[in-house]
Structure 1
Amino acid sequence: MRSSLGGKVRYGKPIVAALSAALVISLFVRGLDRTSPGPLSATHAAVDGLSDASSCSRCHSETSDSLAAACQECHEEIAEQLTTHNGLHGKIEHASECESCHSEHHGSDFVLTSETSFTRAGVADRNAFDHAIATTWTLTGAHTRLDCETCHENATKQVLAQDEKRFVGLTQTCTQCHEDRHEGRFGADCQSCHGQEKPFATAPGFEHPDRFPLTNGHSGHACAKCHETTPEPNTIATPQNSAMPLVRACAECHQNAHADGGTAMRIADTSDCSRCHDTAHFTGATFDVAAHARIGVRLEGAHENLACASCHGEGTAATGGSTLASTLGSTARRDMQSCSTCHIDPHATGNGVMAIADAGDCKRCHETSTFHGATYDAKAHAAIGVDLLGKHATAACTKCHDAAHGIADSSSPRNLSECATCHATPHGDAFAAASATSGGTSCKPCHESIDDGWRLPVRMTAANHGLTGFDLKGKHVAVACDRCHEGLGHTIVTADFAHRFPGREQKDCTACHEDPHAGEFARGPKPRACVECHDEDHFQPVDFGIEDHASTAMPLDGAHAAVSCNSCHQRDGKKLAFRGLDTACASCHEDVHRGQFQASKAGVTTCTKCHSTSGTFDDVRFDHQRDTRFPLDGSHQKVACAACHKPEGFPPFVRYKPLPVDCAGCHTPNGKKYVPGGRQR
């Protein structure tokens, strides 16, 4: 276009400027009407000033895309973590990008602190959060077993009310969660004594004050041993609120074995125990023979060299480490003229040895220098009720009362009616059961004139035989003695008795009888005794039924229960075979499938997969869908079995496997025009 002056009219730049201005104005007008990207979460929607249409600028700055400043304006604790680089947010890289973990405008049901939030913060499992990552409060001991909600009650709360805290805002002082049993008397550092690793009551970190050091015997005791528990459960009273003073006399905790009124050693409770004792051990008191004589008990003869504990014991917890309270107590003084005050009287009344009372004059036979070497004759022996008859009358005392046998004390007197108390039996263990079953007189039932000599003729009856532990029952009653015991009627030397009268078990049949099973039932992890099938009256028939067979590798059920024993257990040479038999079906039954399902071939199918012992062989439990690699679907379900499984061979058998499973194996719609693979023949 040209002007009247012949030049070009330039409209381009003004038009572009006008259009740009119009576009900016239209976008601004549209921005005034712009809708929110979505509803706020219920937590933020409940905050005053965030839910109306003009509240966007509270969080969204016109000059910055970051929401961090706006978030920190409300979440002051998080802002402090970011500034000090403490806490979870203070340790997370890019923690100021709040929206990456706590997204908004997804509706009121949206959870601001979700599993996704923890995952993006590097915590894969919030329930396994490691406090040591972001806090100075390390969870150990019982604290590791607590749920988050135990301390952070809003941990899983979906919607927090305004000013409610989820994880922040807690202190790490023990009293925020636990009651101070000491009411502040020991300060606020509970962990210095109790820690977290061990039970609270043990206070493993506590150190006892120096004014009463716990050394030697005082160490290692439970606190409650001195500091009794208060009426309130699981608490221990401190010395300040107990009646016990801080520094105590020994008798305040320990029983005074020498208390006022005691007739042995009159030492008051307030006396200095350390004159004789120390804290290392109470029993090592420095108390010599001269001091002992001053209390009226003179140590003479062998008594001079005895340790104190020989008379006064090692002590028990109940007596504070000493038995002096019981041996030298305040209620009864020891009669030091009576030996039985300290010594067990081996001749006490009622022990069956010597009828001499505890108060008897021991010095008639013994002296204080030694107990041995007593003067005691045969007449005195008869006076105690034990006559020395026959060969016993000429036996030396030491034959019965030597270092090996000794003299029975009152707690375990000798059984003088039992020969084996003194004499070794020539029968070994053959008659071991007799003593228990015959009232302790195992020898006398057979050897009546025992005092005159045990080699005199003996008497053996069926009843006496039962005393040996081997009862004669059934056909054993009629068996002559010399069938089992060779050489009867002749003099038998002592060394030969064990051979002639061996100790045999009632169930050890093979000791006399030949084992027709050649040890078959004696071997293996579960050996069986003969009496489990046979008894003394007859060897056959055996007592082994269906229930007994159930304990073997081949339980008899179904049709097998009616089969005779000889059908399976047949003679192998001269021996009937019972163990180690093949339990496979084919070991007894003909394989009508001609080895199609043999275990040596691929695709093993056992007989029990289709057949059972219940019913007949033709009652199969075969499932084509489950048990084959060719499920019957569609029209195949209507096809008769014989259409695919046809007889072959001679004698004929039905072919079940292997068979082709591809279509061409049965169908040839193209007259075998094509070969597998799609190529034309």
Structure 2
Amino acid sequence: MLLLFATALAQSVGSFVSPGPLAQPHRELDAITQCFACHSPLKGVDPGLCMGCHERVKQQVETKTGFHATKGSSCEVCHADHRGRDFELVRITKGEFDHSETGFELTGRHAKLECDDCHTGDDWSRVDSTCRSCHKDVHGAQLSDRPLLPACEACHTTGGWRVERIDPKVFDHTNKRFVDYVLEGAHVDVTCHDCHFDFVFLPKKHDACVDCHDDPHRTKFGQRCESCHATPASWSVPRFDHDRTGYTLEGVHADVACSGCHGGNVTTPVRHDTCEDCHRDIHRGQFAPRGCADCHDVTTVRFALRDFDHTKADFPLRGKHLEKQCEDCHGDGELATYLPLAHQDCSACHSDAHEGRFAPSPCKICHAETGWAVADFDHARTR
């Protein structure tokens, strides 16, 4: 009986002292015997007592991180109580809350998010601010496993997650400590997206050049491109062994630039079954069916004549004619095409020293090819 009276008396006194029921989270403290769980005698609400239960808030205050690190020490200013069981101790008006006060300012794409996109549940303070707490690690831990690599924000910004260019101080693709495939020469000037076009930057297969580059040679020279190509400055071929093509360059051919035969695309095969595949027949077929090599040699300047048997021509050379050089009759030896010359009579090449006096008699009546002196002359013909 005495116990029931004491309990009733305590409830009666509590109703007189308490300004109102506590909110739902504090309902277990809603008793006259629990006042000092939050209040210090003659001091009101004691923040130190609040921290005894709210350890996460205490940690933020002590480390000066998070939202509570920027606030004052009076908890009841923001979290008033004794206003009923349904009263919300935490009231945030969406669109008006200054997120920079939490120590994590919303910028770029983060600023366009709704609160519920990141904060779920009742305790909005329990959100990890690291990138991986919200974003999937699309790199498959290949970067996080390397101790030299920094956090996500070293390469990415909230303005857009796409990486256009990476500061070599952050990620050095030319340093073996960062990557398995070191970029050298012309590779250094290639943008990330030229190779990693999925924006994920997962490891690329790089066992052979053809893993990235098309083979314009159609495997004719194998897969070791570096045997001809170098990366220090460009993909140019410093020296190419043309013997590997099955067509050895000799003489004049050895001095011809690659583009001289292959044009702008040096990888395009060139026919070389006959000389005419590359060279125009300046003789216009007069020596067919004989081939060019019957007279010309690649070891001589401008494919000059090696040997030519004029007895096989329509005009065999005899006597004094044998002493003449080709260009004496056919013109400049360097540019000569050696086309057929008129040779029906001597006047086609020789001027008439007699000024027509013996016309129409041909020269050979008096002259012979063995020497231009007169072999037989009938003076009676001068009358």
The two structures have a TM-score, normalised by structure 1, of 0.32
Written as runs of structure 1 = structure 2, the 5 A alignment for 1:271-290 is: 272-274=226-228, 277-283=230-236, 285-286=238-239
Contact 2:187 2:231 in 1 (8 A): no
Written as runs of structure 1 = structure 2, the 5 A alignment for 1:565-604 is: none
Please name the residue that 2:61 is paired with: 82
Q: 1:101 aligns with which of 73, 78, 87?
A: 78
| Cα distance change on mapping 1:149 and 1:278 into 2, 3 Å | same
Contact 1:40 1:104 in 2 (8 A): yes
* Cα distance between partner residues in 1 of 2:186 and 2:151: 28
2:115 maps to 1:148: yes
Q: Which sections of structure 2, spanning at least 5 residues, go unmatched?
A: 1-9, 286-301, 304-334, 338-383
Contact 1:217 1:280 in 2 (8 A): yes
**Offset of residue 324 of structure 1:** 3.8
Please name the residue that 1:364 is paired with: 284
| Cα distance change on mapping 1:362 and 1:199 into 2, 3 Å | farther
* Cα distance between partner residues in 2 of 1:312 and 1:292: 20
**Offset of residue 178 of structure 1:** 2.3
* Cα distance between partner residues in 2 of 1:221 and 1:185: 21
Contact 1:102 1:113 in 2 (8 A): yes
2:199 maps to 1:199: no
**Offset of residue 34 of structure 1:** 0.8
Q: 2:22 aligns with which of 40, 43, 47?
A: 40
Please name the residue that 1:270 is paired with: 224
| Cα distance change on mapping 1:249 and 1:50 into 2, 3 Å | same
Q: 2:213 aligns with which of 241, 254, 257?
A: 254
Contact 1:292 1:299 in 2 (8 A): no
**Offset of residue 306 of structure 1:** 5.4
In percent, how many aligned pairs have the same letter?
25
* Cα distance between partner residues in 1 of 2:187 and 2:132: 32
SS across alignment from 1:207: coil
Please name the residue that 2:262 is paired with: 311
* Cα distance between partner residues in 2 of 1:110 and 1:363: 109
AA of the residue aligned to 2:128: T
AA of the residue aligned to 1:364: R
* Cα distance between partner residues in 1 of 2:249 and 2:175: 41
Q: 1:112 aligns with which of 73, 84, 89?
A: 89
Contact 2:186 2:234 in 1 (8 A): yes
**Offset of residue 65 of structure 1:** 1.9
2:124 maps to 1:166: yes
**Offset of residue 279 of structure 1:** 3.8
Please name the residue that 2:363 is paired with: none
* Cα distance between partner residues in 2 of 1:251 and 1:38: 79
Deviations 1:529-585 (A, max 9, x none): xxxxxxxxxxxxxxxxxxxxxxxxxxxxxxxxxxxxxxxxxxxxxxxxxxxxxxxxx
| Cα distance change on mapping 1:258 and 1:84 into 2, 3 Å | closer
**Offset of residue 255 of structure 1:** 4.1
SS across alignment from 1:214: coil
* Cα distance between partner residues in 2 of 1:181 and 1:217: 28
* Cα distance between partner residues in 2 of 1:140 and 1:285: 52
AA of the residue aligned to 2:130: T
Q: Which sections of structure 1, spanning at least 5 residues, go unmatched?
A: 1-27, 119-123, 155-159, 314-322, 343-359, 376-681
SS across alignment from 1:254: coil
Contact 2:258 2:266 in 1 (8 A): no
| Cα distance change on mapping 1:113 and 1:299 into 2, 3 Å | farther
Please name the residue that 1:217 is paired with: 186
* Cα distance between partner residues in 2 of 1:42 and 1:29: 19
AA of the residue aligned to 1:111: E
Contact 1:37 1:105 in 2 (8 A): yes
Deviations 1:558-616 (A, max 9, x none): xxxxxxxxxxxxxxxxxxxxxxxxxxxxxxxxxxxxxxxxxxxxxxxxxxxxxxxxxxx
Contact 1:41 1:104 in 2 (8 A): yes
Deviations 1:348-399 (A, max 9, x none): xxxxxxxxxxxx957639xx99xxx9x9xxxxxxxxxxxxxxxxxxxxxxxx
**Offset of residue 89 of structure 1:** 1.8
Contact 1:50 1:56 in 2 (8 A): yes
**Offset of residue 41 of structure 1:** 3.1
**Offset of residue 97 of structure 1:** 0.8
Contact 1:85 1:91 in 2 (8 A): yes
Contact 2:23 2:89 in 1 (8 A): yes
Deviations 1:317-366 (A, max 9, x none): xxxxxx444x12xxx74567456x79xxxxxxxxxxxxxxxxx957639x
SS across alignment from 1:79: helix
Written as runs of structure 1 = structure 2, the 5 A alignment for 1:340-489 is: 364=284
| Cα distance change on mapping 1:53 and 1:31 into 2, 3 Å | closer
Contact 2:99 2:105 in 1 (8 A): no
| Cα distance change on mapping 1:192 and 1:100 into 2, 3 Å | closer
Written as runs of structure 1 = structure 2, the 5 A alignment for 1:543-622 is: none
Structure number with the bigger relative contact order (C-alpha 8 A, sep ≥ 6) is: 2
**Offset of residue 305 of structure 1:** 6.4
Contact 1:277 1:284 in 2 (8 A): yes
Contact 1:140 1:196 in 2 (8 A): no
Deviations 1:386-413 (A, max 9, x none): xxxxxxxxxxxxxxxxxxxxxxxxxxxx
RMSD between aligned residues: 4.7
**Offset of residue 236 of structure 1:** 4.8
Contact 2:99 2:106 in 1 (8 A): no
| Cα distance change on mapping 1:273 and 1:143 into 2, 3 Å | farther
**Offset of residue 191 of structure 1:** 1.2
AA of the residue aligned to 2:173: H
| Cα distance change on mapping 1:220 and 1:193 into 2, 3 Å | farther
**Offset of residue 282 of structure 1:** 1.9
SS across alignment from 1:34: helix
**Offset of residue 174 of structure 1:** 2.8
**Offset of residue 68 of structure 1:** 1.1
AA of the residue aligned to 2:77: S
**Offset of residue 139 of structure 1:** 4.6
**Offset of residue 187 of structure 1:** 2.2
* Cα distance between partner residues in 1 of 2:185 and 2:197: 21
The two structures have a TM-score, normalised by structure 2, of 0.53
| Cα distance change on mapping 1:152 and 1:309 into 2, 3 Å | farther
**Offset of residue 80 of structure 1:** 2.0
Deviations 1:468-512 (A, max 9, x none): xxxxxxxxxxxxxxxxxxxxxxxxxxxxxxxxxxxxxxxxxxxxx
| Cα distance change on mapping 1:272 and 1:200 into 2, 3 Å | closer
AA of the residue aligned to 1:216: G
